[in-house]
Amino acid sequence: MSTEDEEARVDELFALASIYSEDEFVREDEVSGGKIHLCLELPSNFVISIKSNSATNSSADNFEDIVSFLPPIVLNFDLPPGYPSTTPPNFTLSCKWLSPAQLTLLCQRLDDLWEENKGSVVLFRWIQFLNEETLDYLNIKSPYEIEVSGNGVQDWLQSPDESLTDGVLLERGALDRRAIQDAQSVPALVQCILDVNEAQQKKDFDRKQFLCNICFMEKSGSECTDFKACQHVYCNYCLKDYFEIQIKDGQVHALNCPEPECTSVATHAQVKDLVEEQLFSRYDHLLLRSSLDLMTDIVYCPRPSCRTPVMQEPDKTMGICTACKYAFCLYCKTAFHGLSPCMVSAERLVELTKEYFAANAKTKREMLKRYAQLGKAVEDAKNKEWIQENSKPCPSCKSPIQKIDGCNKMTCTACKQYFCWICLMILSQEDPYKHFGSGLRCINR
C-alpha cells in the first residue's frame, strides 16, 4: 500500500466532508468511501411528467408539474488501496428518475474521466460532471417524460427495440450493473419528486438575501416568509406583528400579502409558524367559524355559554346540541315547543318580515303558519307602505294626511294646522290662501 495513495485518499475524503453538508455527503466509517447526493438544479419552468406503461394504467399513475429540483443522483463509492495511482474508485450510480440506460451512459462517462485523469484523484471531477453536465450529456430538456412500468422501474431489458440515448446506441442487455434505478412505484416516485423539490427550494430560499418592504432591512431567507402565489417576501418579524394585529381584530380572512393590491393569502402553516400558540388557536377557531357560517345546514346552539355548531337535519324543526344536549327550535332558536307557533323578539320579527316579502308564495304560507306574530307584522308593514305611498306628513304634528280632492290648502285632521300640500309649508291661520297668491311659487299648481 502506497503512503502517497493513502494520504491522497484521506485528503480527498476530508475535503468532501468540509465542502458538503451531512445530508449531501455521508462518510462510511469502516471503509474509505461514502455516498454523494447530487440534486440537479433544473432550468426555469422545467416540466416533468410521469406516464405509467402498466396494463392497469389509470389517471392516478400519471403526473405532470413544473419543478426546480429532482431527486438526487447518488454516487456510492469506495476507494481501493491502489487509488488514485493505479486503480479507479469502485462505484454505483442510483437515481429514481433516470433510466438504467441513461445511468449506464453516465457510468461509462465516469470511466472515461478516470482514464483521462488516471493517477490523480477523480471524485471532484466526477461530481462536477454529474452536477453540471448530466442534463446536456443525456440531452434532457423540458418537457421531460419518465415512463414507468407496472413494477415501478423502466422495463428496458424487455424492450423489443434497442435504446437510443443522446445518439449512443445501447444493445439490449448491455446495461451496466452499476446503474440502478430505484423507483418503487408511480405514487412513490411522484411523492418523492414533490418532497425533494419543496425541500430543495426551501434550502435555496434560506441561503438568499431579501429586502423586506416593511422594515426596509435586508434579511436572509431563513428569517423571511414568501407568499407562494405572488413570490413577495417579508421578514418574519414584520409579518408576525402584521398577522397578530389582524387576528386580534378578528380579520382572519385579511392575512394576505402586505403588498398594496396584492391578493395572495398566507397559508395555514405559515400563520402557525409565525404567531403565538394562543393567537393561532383564535385564528383557527375564527376561520372554522366563518367557514361554518357559509354552510346553510349548520346552526349554532342558542345558549350563549355553548354556541356549538349543530347539523340541521332535513325536514326537522328541532335541533339537539351535541355538547350541552339542549333541544331547541331551529326557527326561533328558543327551547323546542313542538307544534306550537314560534314566538320571536321584536328585532327578529323585523328580519322575518323582510324575509317574508322576499319569499315565494309557498314559503310565505309556511312562515305565516310557523310564526304566530308574523301575520300582524306583515299587515302592519303593508299599511305602513301604503301610508308612505298615499299620504304626506303634517309639517306640524307629522300625522299622515291623505288628499282626496279640493285645493292644495290642507287642514290637518289631528292638530287643525293649515299647510300647503305641494311644498308642506305651514300656512297662516288668518290668511292661508296668501301662500297661493300672485308671484309665489305654488300659484296655479
The closest alpha carbon to 393, from 414, 364, 371, 362, belongs to: 414
CB distance 270 to 234 below 8 Å: no
CB distance 41 to 197 below 8 Å: no
Catalytic residue among 262, 324, 407, 423: 407
**Beta strand 41-52 with 144-148: parallel, antiparallel or unpaired?**
parallel
Annotate 389-418 with b (16+ C-beta within 10 A) or e (fewer): eeebebbeeeebbeeeeeebebebeeeebb
Whole-number Cα distances in Å, 183 to 45, 92, 150: 24, 16, 11
d(CA 56, CA 344): 62
CB distance 180 to 94 below 8 Å: yes
The closest alpha carbon to 246, from 228, 258, 262, 233, belongs to: 258
d(CA 8, CA 32): 11
Annotate 246-285 with b (16+ C-beta within 10 A) or e (fewer): bbeeeebeebbbbeeeeebbbeeebbeebbeeebbebbee
Record the cell numbers describing residue 429, joined without a space.
291661520
From the CB of residue 28, how many other CB atoms can be counted at a distance below 10 Å? 13
d(CA 23, CA 34): 12
How many residues are listed for the chain in this entry?
445
Q: Mark whether 407 is an active-site residue.
A: yes
Cis peptide before 400 (omega within 30 of 0): no
Cis peptide before 84 (omega within 30 of 0): yes
d(CA 97, CA 99): 7
Which DSSP helix (H) or strand (E) runs through 329? strand 327-329
Record the cell numbers describing residue 204, joined without a space.
435555496
Question: What residues are labeled active site?
Answer: 407
